[in-house]
Structure 1
Amino acid sequence: MTVERFEEHRDLLTGVAYRILGTVADAEDVVQEAWLRWSGADTAAVENDRAYLIRVTTRLAVDRLRRAKARRESHVGEWLPEPVGTDPAGTVPDVAERVELTNSVELALLVVLETLSPLERAVFVLREAFGLPYAEIGGAVGRTEATVRQLARRARKHVEERRPRFDVDRMSRRRITERFIGACVDGDLDGLIAMLSDDVTLVADGGGRAKAPLRALVGTGKVARFLTAIATEAGARRFAESLGVAAPEGYAVEFTDVNGAPAAVVTAGARPISVFSLVVLDGLVRTVYLVADPEKLTRLASPA
Protein backbone atom coordinates (compact mmCIF):
# COMPACT_ATOMS: atom_id res chain seq x y z
CA MET A 1 0.00 0.00 0.00
CA THR A 2 2.88 2.35 0.79
CA VAL A 3 4.31 1.80 -2.69
CA GLU A 4 0.96 2.37 -4.41
CA ARG A 5 0.38 5.60 -2.50
CA PHE A 6 3.75 6.93 -3.67
CA GLU A 7 3.44 5.74 -7.28
CA GLU A 8 0.13 7.55 -7.57
CA HIS A 9 2.06 10.83 -7.29
CA ARG A 10 5.36 9.93 -9.01
CA ASP A 11 4.63 11.80 -12.28
CA LEU A 12 3.56 14.90 -10.36
CA LEU A 13 6.71 14.81 -8.23
CA THR A 14 8.90 14.34 -11.31
CA GLY A 15 7.19 17.33 -12.91
CA VAL A 16 7.84 19.51 -9.87
CA ALA A 17 11.48 18.41 -9.59
CA TYR A 18 12.20 18.81 -13.32
CA ARG A 19 10.84 22.37 -13.41
CA ILE A 20 12.89 23.32 -10.37
CA LEU A 21 16.11 21.64 -11.54
CA GLY A 22 15.99 21.73 -15.34
CA THR A 23 17.46 18.24 -15.79
CA VAL A 24 15.66 14.91 -15.88
CA ALA A 25 18.50 13.01 -14.24
CA ASP A 26 18.49 15.31 -11.20
CA ALA A 27 14.70 15.20 -11.07
CA GLU A 28 14.70 11.41 -11.07
CA ASP A 29 17.35 11.34 -8.34
CA VAL A 30 15.28 13.69 -6.20
CA VAL A 31 12.14 11.60 -6.65
CA GLN A 32 14.06 8.46 -5.74
CA GLU A 33 15.33 10.16 -2.59
CA ALA A 34 11.77 11.28 -1.82
CA TRP A 35 10.72 7.65 -2.12
CA LEU A 36 13.39 6.60 0.38
CA ARG A 37 12.15 9.28 2.80
CA TRP A 38 8.56 8.13 2.25
CA SER A 39 9.33 4.43 2.68
CA GLY A 40 11.07 5.15 5.98
CA ALA A 41 8.36 7.44 7.35
CA ASP A 42 5.29 6.67 9.43
CA THR A 43 2.97 7.01 6.45
CA ALA A 44 -0.04 5.95 8.49
CA ALA A 45 0.19 9.33 10.22
CA VAL A 46 0.28 11.29 6.93
CA GLU A 47 -3.07 13.00 6.39
CA ASN A 48 -2.43 14.31 2.86
CA ASP A 49 -0.07 12.21 0.75
CA ARG A 50 0.14 14.72 -2.10
CA ALA A 51 0.99 17.71 0.09
CA TYR A 52 3.50 15.68 2.12
CA LEU A 53 5.30 14.33 -0.95
CA ILE A 54 5.38 17.71 -2.70
CA ARG A 55 6.90 19.21 0.43
CA VAL A 56 9.60 16.54 0.63
CA THR A 57 10.35 16.69 -3.10
CA THR A 58 10.48 20.47 -3.21
CA ARG A 59 12.90 20.75 -0.31
CA LEU A 60 15.15 18.07 -1.79
CA ALA A 61 15.05 19.78 -5.20
CA VAL A 62 15.86 23.21 -3.74
CA ASP A 63 18.82 21.77 -1.82
CA ARG A 64 20.09 20.03 -4.96
CA LEU A 65 19.64 23.18 -7.07
CA ARG A 66 21.70 25.20 -4.61
CA ARG A 67 24.54 22.73 -5.04
CA ALA A 68 24.04 22.59 -8.81
CA LYS A 69 24.30 26.38 -9.14
CA ALA A 70 28.00 26.22 -8.32
CA ARG A 71 28.59 23.46 -10.91
CA ARG A 72 26.69 25.36 -13.59
CA GLU A 73 28.84 28.44 -13.03
CA SER A 74 31.88 26.37 -14.03
CA HIS A 75 30.04 24.74 -16.96
CA VAL A 76 32.00 24.90 -20.22
CA GLY A 77 30.18 27.46 -22.36
CA GLU A 78 26.50 28.26 -22.00
CA TRP A 79 24.22 26.08 -19.84
CA LEU A 80 20.79 25.08 -21.15
CA PRO A 81 18.13 22.85 -19.57
CA GLU A 82 17.86 19.22 -20.60
CA PRO A 83 15.23 18.83 -23.34
CA VAL A 84 12.44 16.28 -22.91
CA GLY A 85 10.34 14.80 -25.66
CA THR A 86 6.63 15.45 -25.81
CA ASP A 87 3.93 13.88 -27.93
CA PRO A 88 1.91 15.85 -30.54
CA ALA A 89 -0.96 16.28 -28.10
CA GLY A 90 1.32 18.34 -25.89
CA THR A 91 1.65 16.02 -22.90
CA VAL A 92 5.03 15.44 -21.31
CA PRO A 93 5.44 11.75 -20.40
CA ASP A 94 6.81 11.29 -16.87
CA VAL A 95 7.09 15.08 -16.50
CA ALA A 96 3.59 16.56 -16.74
CA GLU A 97 0.11 15.22 -16.19
CA ARG A 98 -1.99 17.86 -17.95
CA VAL A 99 -1.69 19.45 -21.39
CA GLU A 100 -1.74 22.96 -19.95
CA LEU A 101 1.38 22.17 -17.93
CA THR A 102 3.50 21.99 -21.09
CA ASN A 103 3.79 25.77 -21.23
CA SER A 104 5.76 25.62 -17.99
CA VAL A 105 8.42 23.30 -19.45
CA GLU A 106 9.26 25.29 -22.59
CA LEU A 107 13.03 25.73 -22.90
CA ALA A 108 12.67 29.50 -23.18
CA LEU A 109 10.91 29.65 -19.81
CA LEU A 110 13.29 27.23 -18.11
CA VAL A 111 16.20 29.42 -19.26
CA VAL A 112 14.59 32.40 -17.53
CA LEU A 113 13.94 30.36 -14.38
CA GLU A 114 17.70 29.79 -14.16
CA THR A 115 18.04 33.48 -13.25
CA LEU A 116 15.86 33.09 -10.14
CA SER A 117 17.14 32.07 -6.74
CA PRO A 118 16.38 28.40 -5.87
CA LEU A 119 13.68 29.46 -3.40
CA GLU A 120 12.06 31.89 -5.86
CA ARG A 121 12.12 29.22 -8.56
CA ALA A 122 10.42 26.67 -6.34
CA VAL A 123 7.71 29.13 -5.33
CA PHE A 124 7.15 30.17 -8.95
CA VAL A 125 6.88 26.56 -10.12
CA LEU A 126 4.48 25.50 -7.39
CA ARG A 127 2.27 28.54 -7.87
CA GLU A 128 2.34 29.21 -11.62
CA ALA A 129 2.72 25.67 -12.97
CA PHE A 130 0.75 23.68 -10.43
CA GLY A 131 -1.53 26.31 -8.90
CA LEU A 132 -0.85 25.40 -5.29
CA PRO A 133 -2.30 27.66 -2.58
CA TYR A 134 0.17 30.01 -0.92
CA ALA A 135 -0.29 28.30 2.44
CA GLU A 136 0.60 24.90 0.96
CA ILE A 137 3.62 26.38 -0.81
CA GLY A 138 4.72 27.88 2.50
CA GLY A 139 4.65 24.43 4.04
CA ALA A 140 6.66 23.04 1.13
CA VAL A 141 9.44 25.63 1.30
CA GLY A 142 9.38 26.29 5.03
CA ARG A 143 8.28 29.93 4.85
CA THR A 144 5.25 31.87 6.06
CA GLU A 145 2.37 32.52 3.69
CA ALA A 146 3.19 36.25 3.68
CA THR A 147 6.79 35.55 2.71
CA VAL A 148 5.66 33.15 -0.03
CA ARG A 149 3.37 35.82 -1.49
CA GLN A 150 6.29 38.26 -1.65
CA LEU A 151 8.54 35.64 -3.25
CA ALA A 152 5.84 34.78 -5.78
CA ARG A 153 5.28 38.43 -6.76
CA ARG A 154 9.02 39.05 -7.13
CA ALA A 155 9.55 35.89 -9.17
CA ARG A 156 6.52 36.54 -11.40
CA LYS A 157 7.67 40.09 -12.14
CA HIS A 158 11.18 38.88 -12.90
CA VAL A 159 9.92 36.19 -15.28
CA GLU A 160 7.44 38.47 -17.03
CA GLU A 161 10.19 40.99 -17.75
CA ARG A 162 12.50 38.37 -19.26
CA ARG A 163 10.23 35.68 -20.68
CA PRO A 164 10.23 35.72 -24.50
CA ARG A 165 6.92 36.51 -26.19
CA PHE A 166 5.53 34.20 -28.86
CA ASP A 167 3.10 35.78 -31.31
CA VAL A 168 2.52 32.80 -33.61
CA ASP A 169 0.54 29.62 -33.08
CA ARG A 170 1.99 26.13 -32.81
CA MET A 171 1.56 25.23 -36.49
CA SER A 172 3.19 28.49 -37.60
CA ARG A 173 6.14 27.83 -35.28
CA ARG A 174 6.49 24.35 -36.75
CA ARG A 175 6.45 25.68 -40.33
CA ILE A 176 9.05 28.33 -39.47
CA THR A 177 11.20 25.67 -37.78
CA GLU A 178 11.00 23.50 -40.92
CA ARG A 179 11.92 26.43 -43.20
CA PHE A 180 14.75 27.41 -40.83
CA ILE A 181 16.32 23.94 -40.87
CA GLY A 182 15.76 23.69 -44.62
CA ALA A 183 17.68 26.91 -45.23
CA CYS A 184 20.53 25.66 -43.01
CA VAL A 185 20.77 22.29 -44.77
CA ASP A 186 20.58 23.90 -48.23
CA GLY A 187 23.32 26.37 -47.30
CA ASP A 188 20.92 29.18 -48.24
CA LEU A 189 22.65 31.98 -46.37
CA ASP A 190 20.46 34.76 -47.79
CA GLY A 191 17.28 32.81 -47.17
CA LEU A 192 18.33 32.08 -43.60
CA ILE A 193 19.26 35.70 -42.89
CA ALA A 194 15.82 36.76 -44.15
CA MET A 195 14.25 34.62 -41.43
CA LEU A 196 16.31 36.11 -38.58
CA SER A 197 15.59 39.25 -36.59
CA ASP A 198 18.37 41.84 -36.55
CA ASP A 199 19.18 41.08 -32.91
CA VAL A 200 18.89 37.29 -33.22
CA THR A 201 20.81 35.35 -30.59
CA LEU A 202 22.06 31.77 -30.73
CA VAL A 203 22.69 30.06 -27.41
CA ALA A 204 24.41 26.68 -27.68
CA ASP A 205 25.20 24.13 -24.98
CA GLY A 206 27.80 21.55 -25.92
CA GLY A 207 28.79 20.91 -22.33
CA GLY A 208 32.45 20.81 -23.32
CA ARG A 209 31.72 17.50 -25.04
CA ALA A 210 30.44 18.79 -28.38
CA LYS A 211 31.76 21.59 -30.56
CA ALA A 212 29.61 24.64 -29.86
CA PRO A 213 30.17 28.38 -29.36
CA LEU A 214 31.29 29.07 -25.80
CA ARG A 215 29.39 32.36 -25.81
CA ALA A 216 26.09 33.38 -27.32
CA LEU A 217 26.29 34.55 -30.94
CA VAL A 218 24.43 37.78 -31.66
CA GLY A 219 23.47 39.21 -35.05
CA THR A 220 22.20 37.76 -38.31
CA GLY A 221 25.62 37.40 -39.95
CA LYS A 222 27.30 35.47 -37.13
CA VAL A 223 24.32 33.24 -36.45
CA ALA A 224 23.60 32.44 -40.12
CA ARG A 225 27.24 31.69 -40.96
CA PHE A 226 27.60 29.35 -37.98
CA LEU A 227 24.40 27.46 -38.79
CA THR A 228 25.12 26.99 -42.48
CA ALA A 229 28.69 25.90 -41.66
CA ILE A 230 27.65 23.06 -39.34
CA ALA A 231 24.83 22.03 -41.70
CA THR A 232 27.14 21.13 -44.58
CA GLU A 233 27.97 17.44 -44.90
CA ALA A 234 31.58 17.99 -43.83
CA GLY A 235 30.55 20.31 -41.00
CA ALA A 236 27.88 17.94 -39.76
CA ARG A 237 30.34 15.05 -39.88
CA ARG A 238 32.89 16.97 -37.80
CA PHE A 239 30.12 17.95 -35.37
CA ALA A 240 28.96 14.34 -35.01
CA GLU A 241 32.49 12.98 -34.67
CA SER A 242 33.14 15.44 -31.83
CA LEU A 243 30.42 13.48 -30.00
CA GLY A 244 32.10 10.16 -30.69
CA VAL A 245 29.77 9.22 -33.55
CA ALA A 246 32.34 7.90 -36.01
CA ALA A 247 31.38 7.50 -39.68
CA PRO A 248 27.61 7.75 -39.10
CA GLU A 249 25.31 5.97 -41.50
CA GLY A 250 23.45 9.16 -42.24
CA TYR A 251 21.91 12.29 -40.85
CA ALA A 252 18.23 12.83 -40.29
CA VAL A 253 16.02 15.58 -38.94
CA GLU A 254 12.74 14.97 -37.17
CA PHE A 255 10.36 17.85 -36.54
CA THR A 256 8.67 17.00 -33.29
CA ASP A 257 7.55 18.47 -29.99
CA VAL A 258 10.24 19.04 -27.38
CA ASN A 259 9.35 20.61 -24.04
CA GLY A 260 5.85 21.22 -25.31
CA ALA A 261 6.87 23.21 -28.40
CA PRO A 262 7.85 22.52 -32.03
CA ALA A 263 11.55 21.70 -32.39
CA ALA A 264 14.01 19.93 -34.68
CA VAL A 265 15.94 16.88 -33.48
CA VAL A 266 19.02 16.07 -35.58
CA THR A 267 20.39 12.53 -35.50
CA ALA A 268 23.51 10.82 -36.81
CA GLY A 269 23.29 7.07 -37.20
CA ALA A 270 19.90 7.22 -35.40
CA ARG A 271 21.55 8.88 -32.38
CA PRO A 272 20.30 12.35 -31.36
CA ILE A 273 23.18 14.82 -31.63
CA SER A 274 21.39 18.17 -31.33
CA VAL A 275 18.08 19.84 -30.67
CA PHE A 276 17.02 23.19 -32.14
CA SER A 277 14.28 25.19 -30.43
CA LEU A 278 13.29 28.63 -31.73
CA VAL A 279 11.77 31.73 -30.22
CA VAL A 280 9.69 33.42 -32.94
CA LEU A 281 8.45 37.01 -32.73
CA ASP A 282 6.81 39.05 -35.51
CA GLY A 283 7.37 36.12 -37.83
CA LEU A 284 11.15 36.20 -37.37
CA VAL A 285 13.48 33.97 -35.38
CA ARG A 286 14.52 35.92 -32.29
CA THR A 287 16.45 33.24 -30.39
CA VAL A 288 17.93 29.88 -31.34
CA TYR A 289 18.51 27.38 -28.54
CA LEU A 290 20.88 24.59 -29.59
CA VAL A 291 21.38 21.71 -27.16
CA ALA A 292 24.24 19.45 -28.24
CA ASP A 293 25.55 18.12 -24.93
CA PRO A 294 25.25 14.33 -25.43
CA GLU A 295 24.50 13.80 -21.75
CA LYS A 296 21.36 15.89 -22.16
CA LEU A 297 20.09 14.02 -25.22
CA THR A 298 20.03 10.44 -23.99
CA ARG A 299 16.32 10.53 -23.16
CA LEU A 300 15.16 11.81 -26.53
CA ALA A 301 13.66 9.07 -28.66
CA SER A 302 15.39 8.63 -32.01
CA PRO A 303 13.27 9.34 -35.12
CA ALA A 304 11.68 6.33 -36.75
Structure 2
Amino acid sequence: MTEPRPAEPVAQAFEAERGRLHAVAHRMLGSHADAEDVVQEAWLRLARQDPAAIDNLGGWLTTVVGRLSLDALRSRRTRPQPVYDDQLPELVVTLDADPVPAPEETAALADSVGAALLVVLESLGPNERLAFVLHDLFAVPFDEIGRILGRSTAAAKMTASRARRKVQAAERPQPGPEQRAVVRAFLKAARGGDFDELLRVLDPEVRLSVDTAEGEVVVLGATKVAASARFGAGEAALGRTAVVNGRPGLVSWGVDGKVASVLSFSVADGRIIGISVVNDPVRLAELDLPMPE
Protein backbone atom coordinates (compact mmCIF):
# COMPACT_ATOMS: atom_id res chain seq x y z
CA MET A 1 0.00 0.00 0.00
CA THR A 2 1.48 3.31 -1.06
CA GLU A 3 1.47 6.40 1.13
CA PRO A 4 -0.96 9.15 0.11
CA ARG A 5 0.68 12.23 -1.35
CA PRO A 6 -0.24 15.77 -0.33
CA ALA A 7 -1.79 18.02 -2.94
CA GLU A 8 0.70 19.87 -5.12
CA PRO A 9 0.40 23.28 -3.35
CA VAL A 10 1.00 21.58 0.02
CA ALA A 11 3.95 19.65 -1.40
CA GLN A 12 5.43 22.89 -2.71
CA ALA A 13 4.92 24.55 0.67
CA PHE A 14 6.68 21.62 2.35
CA GLU A 15 9.65 21.93 -0.02
CA ALA A 16 9.86 25.62 0.85
CA GLU A 17 10.14 24.61 4.54
CA ARG A 18 12.50 21.66 4.03
CA GLY A 19 15.76 23.56 4.48
CA ARG A 20 14.63 25.15 7.74
CA LEU A 21 13.24 21.85 9.05
CA HIS A 22 16.53 20.09 8.27
CA ALA A 23 18.44 22.85 10.07
CA VAL A 24 16.23 22.45 13.16
CA ALA A 25 16.64 18.66 13.20
CA HIS A 26 20.39 18.92 12.60
CA ARG A 27 20.91 21.30 15.53
CA MET A 28 18.85 18.92 17.64
CA LEU A 29 20.53 15.68 16.58
CA GLY A 30 24.02 16.67 15.37
CA SER A 31 23.72 14.32 12.38
CA HIS A 32 22.71 15.21 8.83
CA ALA A 33 21.57 11.63 8.20
CA ASP A 34 19.37 11.57 11.30
CA ALA A 35 18.02 15.03 10.46
CA GLU A 36 17.06 13.88 6.98
CA ASP A 37 15.26 10.85 8.48
CA VAL A 38 13.25 13.15 10.75
CA VAL A 39 12.33 15.50 7.88
CA GLN A 40 11.26 12.55 5.75
CA GLU A 41 9.07 11.23 8.58
CA ALA A 42 7.49 14.68 8.89
CA TRP A 43 6.71 14.54 5.17
CA LEU A 44 5.04 11.13 5.58
CA ARG A 45 2.95 12.40 8.49
CA LEU A 46 1.90 15.40 6.45
CA ALA A 47 0.76 13.02 3.72
CA ARG A 48 -1.68 11.42 6.17
CA GLN A 49 -3.16 14.75 7.27
CA ASP A 50 -6.04 16.78 5.90
CA PRO A 51 -4.35 20.03 4.78
CA ALA A 52 -7.52 21.96 5.55
CA ALA A 53 -7.13 21.04 9.23
CA ILE A 54 -3.67 22.70 9.42
CA ASP A 55 -3.90 26.44 10.06
CA ASN A 56 -0.14 27.12 10.05
CA LEU A 57 1.85 24.60 8.01
CA GLY A 58 5.26 25.93 9.10
CA GLY A 59 4.32 25.79 12.77
CA TRP A 60 2.76 22.34 12.40
CA LEU A 61 5.87 20.96 10.69
CA THR A 62 8.17 22.55 13.28
CA THR A 63 6.16 20.88 16.04
CA VAL A 64 6.35 17.49 14.31
CA VAL A 65 10.11 17.78 13.69
CA GLY A 66 10.65 18.97 17.26
CA ARG A 67 8.75 16.03 18.74
CA LEU A 68 10.47 13.49 16.49
CA SER A 69 13.89 14.94 17.37
CA LEU A 70 13.02 14.95 21.07
CA ASP A 71 12.03 11.27 20.88
CA ALA A 72 15.33 10.48 19.17
CA LEU A 73 17.34 12.35 21.82
CA ARG A 74 15.53 10.60 24.67
CA SER A 75 16.21 7.26 23.02
CA ARG A 76 19.92 8.09 22.87
CA ARG A 77 19.98 8.79 26.61
CA THR A 78 19.09 5.14 27.23
CA ARG A 79 21.31 3.78 24.45
CA PRO A 80 24.31 6.16 24.15
CA GLN A 81 26.09 5.92 20.82
CA PRO A 82 28.22 8.20 18.66
CA VAL A 83 26.09 10.15 16.18
CA TYR A 84 28.00 13.38 15.59
CA ASP A 85 28.87 13.24 11.90
CA ASP A 86 30.34 16.70 11.32
CA GLN A 87 34.08 17.25 11.28
CA LEU A 88 35.37 17.48 14.83
CA PRO A 89 36.91 20.86 15.68
CA GLU A 90 40.66 21.18 15.45
CA LEU A 91 42.43 20.77 18.77
CA VAL A 92 43.91 24.11 19.85
CA VAL A 93 45.90 23.62 23.05
CA THR A 94 47.84 26.13 25.12
CA LEU A 95 49.61 24.86 28.22
CA ASP A 96 48.98 27.09 31.22
CA ALA A 97 52.65 28.06 31.51
CA ASP A 98 52.92 28.95 27.82
CA PRO A 99 53.23 32.56 26.61
CA VAL A 100 50.27 34.38 25.10
CA PRO A 101 49.22 32.57 21.88
CA ALA A 102 50.33 34.03 18.57
CA PRO A 103 47.66 35.82 16.45
CA GLU A 104 47.25 32.85 14.12
CA GLU A 105 46.65 30.57 17.12
CA THR A 106 44.03 32.98 18.45
CA ALA A 107 42.23 32.92 15.09
CA ALA A 108 42.29 29.13 15.04
CA LEU A 109 40.88 29.09 18.57
CA ALA A 110 37.99 31.34 17.61
CA ASP A 111 37.18 29.15 14.61
CA SER A 112 37.27 25.97 16.67
CA VAL A 113 35.02 27.37 19.40
CA GLY A 114 32.45 28.46 16.81
CA ALA A 115 32.57 25.07 15.07
CA ALA A 116 32.04 23.29 18.37
CA LEU A 117 28.46 24.50 18.96
CA LEU A 118 27.02 21.09 18.18
CA VAL A 119 29.47 19.50 20.58
CA VAL A 120 28.35 21.97 23.27
CA LEU A 121 24.71 21.11 22.57
CA GLU A 122 25.51 17.45 23.16
CA SER A 123 26.06 18.29 26.83
CA LEU A 124 22.43 19.41 27.22
CA GLY A 125 19.56 17.20 28.25
CA PRO A 126 16.93 16.50 25.54
CA ASN A 127 14.40 19.04 26.88
CA GLU A 128 17.10 21.71 27.33
CA ARG A 129 18.43 21.14 23.85
CA LEU A 130 15.02 21.40 22.24
CA ALA A 131 14.08 24.54 24.16
CA PHE A 132 17.40 26.26 23.38
CA VAL A 133 17.50 25.27 19.70
CA LEU A 134 13.89 26.16 18.92
CA HIS A 135 13.81 29.45 20.83
CA ASP A 136 17.34 30.85 20.66
CA LEU A 137 18.26 29.61 17.17
CA PHE A 138 14.89 29.56 15.40
CA ALA A 139 12.72 32.01 17.40
CA VAL A 140 9.92 29.55 18.11
CA PRO A 141 7.59 30.99 20.79
CA PHE A 142 7.71 29.45 24.24
CA ASP A 143 4.03 28.45 24.19
CA GLU A 144 4.72 26.22 21.16
CA ILE A 145 7.85 24.81 22.82
CA GLY A 146 5.83 24.09 25.94
CA ARG A 147 3.29 22.11 23.91
CA ILE A 148 6.06 20.01 22.36
CA LEU A 149 7.57 19.32 25.79
CA GLY A 150 4.20 18.76 27.41
CA ARG A 151 4.93 21.58 29.87
CA SER A 152 3.72 25.07 30.63
CA THR A 153 5.04 28.16 28.87
CA ALA A 154 6.80 29.22 32.09
CA ALA A 155 8.48 25.84 32.41
CA ALA A 156 9.65 26.02 28.80
CA LYS A 157 11.19 29.46 29.50
CA MET A 158 13.02 28.09 32.55
CA THR A 159 14.33 25.12 30.56
CA ALA A 160 15.62 27.38 27.78
CA SER A 161 17.23 29.74 30.32
CA ARG A 162 19.06 26.87 32.01
CA ALA A 163 20.28 25.59 28.65
CA ARG A 164 21.39 29.08 27.62
CA ARG A 165 23.55 29.45 30.73
CA LYS A 166 25.24 26.13 30.00
CA VAL A 167 25.90 27.03 26.36
CA GLN A 168 27.25 30.47 27.23
CA ALA A 169 29.53 29.02 29.88
CA ALA A 170 30.84 26.36 27.53
CA GLU A 171 31.44 28.80 24.65
CA ARG A 172 33.54 31.36 26.50
CA PRO A 173 36.78 31.88 24.54
CA GLN A 174 38.88 31.71 27.70
CA PRO A 175 38.03 29.92 30.95
CA GLY A 176 37.49 32.19 33.94
CA PRO A 177 38.86 31.63 37.44
CA GLU A 178 35.59 30.02 38.57
CA GLN A 179 35.76 27.42 35.82
CA ARG A 180 39.39 26.69 36.55
CA ALA A 181 38.62 26.28 40.26
CA VAL A 182 35.92 23.72 39.51
CA VAL A 183 38.27 21.75 37.26
CA ARG A 184 41.06 21.88 39.86
CA ALA A 185 38.64 20.51 42.45
CA PHE A 186 37.69 17.72 40.05
CA LEU A 187 41.33 16.79 39.33
CA LYS A 188 42.20 16.84 43.05
CA ALA A 189 39.26 14.57 43.83
CA ALA A 190 40.18 12.22 40.98
CA ARG A 191 43.78 11.99 42.16
CA GLY A 192 42.68 11.39 45.74
CA GLY A 193 39.92 8.95 44.86
CA ASP A 194 37.37 11.14 46.65
CA PHE A 195 34.10 9.86 45.18
CA ASP A 196 31.86 12.20 47.18
CA GLU A 197 33.81 15.27 46.07
CA LEU A 198 33.65 14.12 42.46
CA LEU A 199 29.87 13.91 42.72
CA ARG A 200 29.80 17.41 44.21
CA VAL A 201 31.56 19.02 41.25
CA LEU A 202 29.81 16.98 38.53
CA ASP A 203 26.40 17.92 37.16
CA PRO A 204 23.96 15.00 37.66
CA GLU A 205 23.56 14.75 33.86
CA VAL A 206 27.25 15.26 33.00
CA ARG A 207 28.35 13.79 29.67
CA LEU A 208 31.77 12.19 29.20
CA SER A 209 32.84 11.52 25.61
CA VAL A 210 36.07 9.73 24.73
CA ASP A 211 37.40 9.99 21.17
CA THR A 212 39.45 6.83 20.54
CA ALA A 213 40.94 5.22 17.46
CA GLU A 214 37.96 2.83 17.42
CA GLY A 215 35.36 5.60 17.67
CA GLU A 216 33.56 7.61 20.31
CA VAL A 217 32.61 6.19 23.70
CA VAL A 218 29.97 8.04 25.72
CA VAL A 219 29.29 7.85 29.47
CA LEU A 220 26.30 9.65 30.97
CA GLY A 221 25.56 10.61 34.56
CA ALA A 222 27.61 11.77 37.54
CA THR A 223 27.97 8.36 39.21
CA LYS A 224 29.37 6.63 36.13
CA VAL A 225 31.59 9.57 35.20
CA ALA A 226 32.94 9.78 38.76
CA ALA A 227 33.80 6.08 38.67
CA SER A 228 35.61 6.58 35.35
CA ALA A 229 37.49 9.57 36.77
CA ARG A 230 38.78 7.55 39.73
CA PHE A 231 39.85 4.81 37.34
CA GLY A 232 41.86 7.30 35.27
CA ALA A 233 43.35 9.14 38.24
CA GLY A 234 46.91 8.11 37.34
CA GLU A 235 46.67 9.89 34.03
CA ALA A 236 45.39 13.03 35.75
CA ALA A 237 48.32 12.96 38.15
CA LEU A 238 50.81 12.99 35.28
CA GLY A 239 49.01 15.69 33.31
CA ARG A 240 49.42 19.42 33.01
CA THR A 241 46.58 21.92 32.99
CA ALA A 242 45.92 23.77 29.76
CA VAL A 243 43.36 25.70 27.72
CA VAL A 244 41.81 23.36 25.14
CA ASN A 245 39.62 24.98 22.48
CA GLY A 246 38.88 27.82 24.87
CA ARG A 247 38.00 25.60 27.83
CA PRO A 248 39.93 24.48 30.91
CA GLY A 249 41.70 21.25 30.11
CA LEU A 250 44.45 18.77 30.85
CA VAL A 251 47.22 17.29 28.69
CA SER A 252 49.06 14.10 29.63
CA TRP A 253 52.09 12.41 28.08
CA GLY A 254 53.18 8.79 27.80
CA VAL A 255 56.56 7.36 28.79
CA ASP A 256 57.67 7.86 25.17
CA GLY A 257 57.22 11.62 25.54
CA LYS A 258 54.26 11.74 23.15
CA VAL A 259 50.88 13.23 24.05
CA ALA A 260 48.70 10.42 25.42
CA SER A 261 45.44 12.29 25.94
CA VAL A 262 43.82 15.72 25.91
CA LEU A 263 40.85 16.56 28.13
CA SER A 264 38.58 19.60 28.05
CA PHE A 265 35.86 20.53 30.52
CA SER A 266 32.59 22.41 30.09
CA VAL A 267 31.50 24.16 33.30
CA ALA A 268 28.19 25.85 34.14
CA ASP A 269 26.68 26.99 37.43
CA GLY A 270 29.71 25.77 39.38
CA ARG A 271 29.58 22.21 38.08
CA ILE A 272 31.11 20.23 35.23
CA ILE A 273 28.47 19.49 32.59
CA GLY A 274 30.73 17.90 29.99
CA ILE A 275 34.14 16.26 29.69
CA SER A 276 35.71 15.58 26.31
CA VAL A 277 38.69 13.22 26.13
CA VAL A 278 40.78 12.70 22.99
CA ASN A 279 42.83 9.50 22.98
CA ASP A 280 42.90 8.99 19.22
CA PRO A 281 46.59 8.81 18.22
CA VAL A 282 45.82 10.27 14.78
CA ARG A 283 44.32 13.44 16.22
CA LEU A 284 46.94 13.68 18.97
CA ALA A 285 49.75 13.35 16.40
CA GLU A 286 48.63 16.71 14.97
CA LEU A 287 49.71 18.41 18.19
CA ASP A 288 53.24 19.67 18.64
CA LEU A 289 53.40 19.50 22.43
CA PRO A 290 56.65 18.00 23.74
CA MET A 291 56.63 16.80 27.33
CA PRO A 292 57.66 19.66 29.67
CA GLU A 293 61.05 19.36 31.31
TM norm structure 1: 0.48
Considering Cα pairs closer than 8 Å and 6+ residues apart, tell me whether 1 or 2 has the greater RCO.
1
